[in-house]
Amino acid sequence: NGEIGFNTHTVFMKTIKALGTDEQIAKWMPLAMDYKILGSYAQTELGHGTYLRGLETTATFDPTTQEFIIDTPQITATKWWPGDYNTSCNLFSGISVGDIGPKMAFENVDNGYLIMRNIRIPKENMLSRYSQVPLY
């Protein structure tokens, strides 16, 4: 019914306000409020659930390009059960999504998986109110 997606987007906007710099808030909030960008949350992994110390997804900083490289290094790091994963989403190079198939409950919610293969994110997109990556 889209409620999970709407709630996640609301949390996304609150996160920008809480963790973004003034410049990031000025850049991203108008876009988020007009639904020109959408937020998502992907923590749960196939092999580890929500156990944070066991997460295997990596974010490696590349000082030559000033980008983070996000990677799902193995199958157990696959993001699992993202609710309302959206079967009509825009796909980008290096991102794979799919349906996980029938479940024992909550059939009305589209649950799926997410795999990221060496996705590059510019350093300036890291919400930086409280932490920064130094210049190299």
**What's residue 45's pLDDT?**
93
Averaged over 115-119, what is the pLDDT?
96
46-70: b (≥16 Cβ within 10 Å) or e: bebeeeeeebbbeeeeeeeeebbbb
The stretch 63-75 carries a mean pLDDT of: 96
Instruction: Note the pLDDT of residue 89.
Output: 59
Q: Which domains does the chain have, with CATH numbers?
A: 1-41 (no CATH), 44-123 (2.40.110.10)
pLDDT band, residue 92 (cuts 50/70/90): confident
Residue 47: the pLDDT is: 93
Write the pLDDT tens digit of every residue in 4-40. 666 778 899 999 999 999 999 999 999 999 999 988 7
Query: At what angle are helices 22-33 and 3-19 packed, to 10 degrees?
Result: 160
Rounded CA-CA distance 131/17 in Å is: 15
pLDDT of residue 87: 57
